[in-house]
Amino acid sequence: MSKKVNFDNNSSFDGFSQSGIKFFHDLHRNNNRDWFHANRERYIRFISDPMKRLVNSISPMMSELDPLVITVPNRVVSRIYRDTRFSADKLPYRPRVWFAFKRNVECWTETPTYFFQFEETGYMFGMGMYSAPAATMRKFRTMIDDKPEHFRKIIEPIQKSRNLKLDSDCYKRRIKSDYPAIIDKWYQSKSIAVLGQRDPDKILFSSKLVDFLLDRFILLKPLYDFLWQAATY
């Protein structure tokens, strides 16, 4: 019988590993319950435990950015198991794992959330609203109309960043606007997501990932607060 792997809650994050990349690679080829059961300890050792340590390392600063976000790893880190009951895709496991720092709200996908995702091809990070309600986006545009220069100052650091970009679908019918392009592309967005993507690199495989993510999350803080204002009625 194989030895059970236990999560060390007090250990610090020192990076993911090539073994984690290899696990996701193998999962792509063997996405079934028998294979996962036989390789569950690999998942815990190379994916689940490092992700929880990453969350624990980031949580103190995230609580400073927003004291209302949930920081308990088991509530922040996604499950690899998929609910296939209402999906055409019946593969039982997700080939990726992510964390989401969110508030305790009824539907967190409709409110601003910080996130990080790890998979075979690399990692993604950022902040946004996965599915913002139309009412939230109307208020978002009203807030821009009220103080366009204030909004410009919020987004300028994001525009200058080499690691972050606005990633959002626009309305099919353009909303009337006389704003310059730097503001207008935000004004036309159906929802808001700012993200960065990187291939597996030295940062992913080291403790430097903690500061790398925090630096980007801190940069996004003014927009995060702006979006929360739009999402609060």
101 phi and psi angles, rounded to 5 deg: -85, 110
CA atoms of 212 and 64, how far apart (whole Å): 17
Q: Give burial (CB, 10 Å; 0-12/13-18/19+) of 173.
A: exposed
Q: What is the structure's pLDDT at 84?
A: 73
User: Domain extents for the chain?
Assistant: 18-231
Q: Quickly count: other Cβ atoms within 10 Å of residue 17's Cβ.
A: 16
CA atoms of 129 and 149, how far apart (whole Å): 23
CA atoms of 43 and 233, how far apart (whole Å): 41
Residue 205 has pLDDT above 50, yes or no: yes
Q: What is the structure's pLDDT at 3?
A: 40
The percentage of residues in the chain with a pLDDT greater than 70, rounded to a whole number, is 95
CA atoms of 85 and 19, how far apart (whole Å): 31
128 phi and psi angles, rounded to 5 deg: 170, -175
Grouping H, G, I as helix, E, B as strand and the rest as coil, residue 53 is helix
Give residue-wise pLDDT tens across range 170-179.
988 999 999 9
Give residue-wise pLDDT tens across range 128-140.
998 899 999 999 9
CA atoms of 92 and 25, how far apart (whole Å): 15
The dotted CATH code for 18-231 is 3.30.930.20
H-assigned helices in the chain: 18-29, 33-38, 40-43, 49-65, 73-76, 134-146, 148-160, 181-187, 208-219, 221-231
Q: Taking each helix axis from N to C terminus, what angle separates 221-231 and 208-219, rounded to the nearest 10 degrees?
A: 50
Q: What is the structure's pLDDT at 9?
A: 52
Structure letter (DSSP) for residue 181: H
Q: Is 128 left (phi over 0), alpha (psi -120 to 50) or beta?
A: left
Q: What is the structure's pLDDT at 1?
A: 36
